[in-house]
Amino acid sequence: MSTLFLIGMYGTEKSQTIIRNEHFFDRVIELQDLDSLMVTLYRDRVSPFPNAHNFETGVSLVLYDPSKFQLSVRHLDILFKRFFPSFNISALDHTHEENLQRLDCVERENNICRNRITRINHWMYHHHDETPAGISQNKSSTINENFAPTQSCQANIYTLLLHLNDSKAQYLRKASVPRLIRNIEFMSFLSEPKGKLSQDGMHYWDKLSTWNFCALSLSTQELIWCGFTLIKKLSKDANVLIADNKLLLLLFTLESSYHQVNKFHNFRHAIDVMQATWQLCTHLLKDNPVQTLLLCMAAIGHDVGHPGTNNQLLCNCESEVAQSFKNVSILENFHRELFQQLLSEHWPQLLAISKKQFDFISEAILATDMALHSQYEDRLLHEKPMKQITLISLIIKAADISNVTRPLSISALWAYLITLEFSDCALLESFHKSHRPEQDCFSDSYRNLDTASEDLDYMQNILTNETSPDDIIKDHPYIPNGQIFFINTFAEVFFNALSQKFSSLKFLSDNVKLNKEYWMKHKKPK
């Protein structure tokens, strides 16, 4: 949904004129000041899922008079890029009539955002800046000649390339957090669980302290609570302290850097992998609180900005993000860049410690590239004695694919979600058969596209009602085949070897075996 924010215009003749004429927006909100705007953005973002006001499925605009608030349009847009990276939101000076022409583009931009395939396509292959210096425009002979490099686009919508470039831009990185953000009490956006006090973290500590942890049953607020509870404890143990409100700002910014609208690769997955990483660290890094903290932080940031697709799709269409990383571990390098830049602003002390220890966080995130799986499996099987960097990499790798080691009732839900994302990838490839990836998204060929339904209410019903694996298979009969393929190709040998190397982890291979037995009973003939 899209929102038009009118700031400091309440009751004026101009505000009423705009409200009457701006039918392109799903809602119009009048606020007295920019402080109220910040509160509204954060509160909307952590609304219950499926969250209509996530600022990703529509384009939102903020109209205000910069002279009244001593903050230019440019600086407000910079603030949006720093603290709400995935949002499609921008500022306009309503006192300049020519700026209001921007409103005419909203309907077309909303059409792109509301169709999940055109939205993902835009994320991956478009940008609305000039091509950054240092990114090659030359085509590789191995790339399909029908695809051209990413072209500049006029739509004011999130793209991977802009996210990456903004994270590196010096003008976005400030020494201090601006007053508009600094004065916010972030705990006020988090409801207490079931009427219990949570400052001691016990409610969420109980959830985190079991391999039966199910991030899929938690709201965005609860996910942030889990991250806060665990990181606060680990930072205290490691004596790398961070103030509560600064930690919450980091978590809110991190959540706003993930795409809520992704089915699998979102903040839920990040919290799930962080929890699994911590659980594995309790077995394998018992006496190293600093490395445990670093590894858990790498886990929560390991997929930041993920588009819900894969490296191959970025390579096939010669995206500029792929070119910027020379087609090697594209998304992993992308996540690494974004997360380290985020830490450099919000927790520089931790990043400095990481870089002193073989660039710890960077190495851990890069290890999650599944194209490197066989290499790490070989190290697990044959490296004697095992190097510390290998152990670190194996822990986060195990955590990243741990959904197949969870109890079946939880594992089946993750299987359902990854199946939905794979389906989106297939739809995107089909879309490319009739559209060039970088094609002008305002062109006539984009009109009258079949809407790719989000089905978020249906998805949420499955997740919150503890739908049984049997019921999931009824609607998605090929999920067992996908799970069997993944277990046979990646998980079985890996977790068996890990369990043999570290006997306390035998429950991982046991769960994989039990889950595989279930999926084999329901395998669909090809």
**What's the pLDDT tens digit per position in 435-461?**
889 888 777 767 666 655 667 777 888
pTM of the model: 0.94
Look at residue 146 and tell me whether its pLDDT is greater than 60.
no
The per-residue pLDDT for 31 is 97
Q: What are phi and psi of 90, to 5 degrees?
A: -150, 165
Could you tell me the maximum CA-CA distance found in the chain, to the nearest angstrom? 76
What residues form the annotated binding site? 269, 302-303, 400
Instruction: Determine which helix (DSSP H) or strand (DSSP E) holds 297, and give its type and residue range.
Output: helix 289-301
Would you kindly state where each structural domain of the chain is located, as residue ranges?
Answer: 3-161, 185-379, 408-432+457-521
Cα separation, 1 vs 55, whole angstroms: 7
**What's the pLDDT tens digit per position in 87-113?**
999 999 988 877 777 777 888 899 899
The per-residue pLDDT for 145 is 36
Cα separation, 7 vs 10, whole angstroms: 7
> What's the angle, vertex CA 78, arms to CA 47 and CA 71, rounded to 5?
100
Cα separation, 507 vs 524, whole angstroms: 28
The partner residues of 31 in beta bridges, in order of sequence, read 7
The SS3 assignment for 91 reads strand
Cα separation, 284 vs 265, whole angstroms: 26
Cα separation, 394 vs 402, whole angstroms: 12
The per-residue pLDDT for 455 is 72
Look at residue 142 and tell me whether its pLDDT is greater than 50.
no
Handedness of CA 147, 149, 154, 156 (dihedral sign): positive
Label residue 135 by pLDDT band (50, 70, 90).
Answer: very low
The per-residue pLDDT for 357 is 84
The per-residue pLDDT for 516 is 98
The stretch 132-150 carries a mean pLDDT of 37
User: Could you tell me the fold of the domain covering 185-379?
Assistant: Catalytic domain of cyclic nucleotide phosphodiesterase 4b2b (1.10.1300)
Reply yes or no on whether 335 is catalytic: no
Look at residue 194 and tell me whether its pLDDT is greater than 70.
no
What residues form the annotated binding site for Zn(2+)? 269, 302-303, 400
- In the chain, the N- to C-terminal Cα span, in Å, equals 40
Residue whose tokens read 């939101």: 89
Cα separation, 497 vs 389, whole angstroms: 18
Cα separation, 315 vs 327, whole angstroms: 6
| Amino acid letter for position 464 | T
**What's the pLDDT tens digit per position in 345-362?**
999 999 999 999 889 999
Catalytic residue among 126, 127, 259, 265: 265
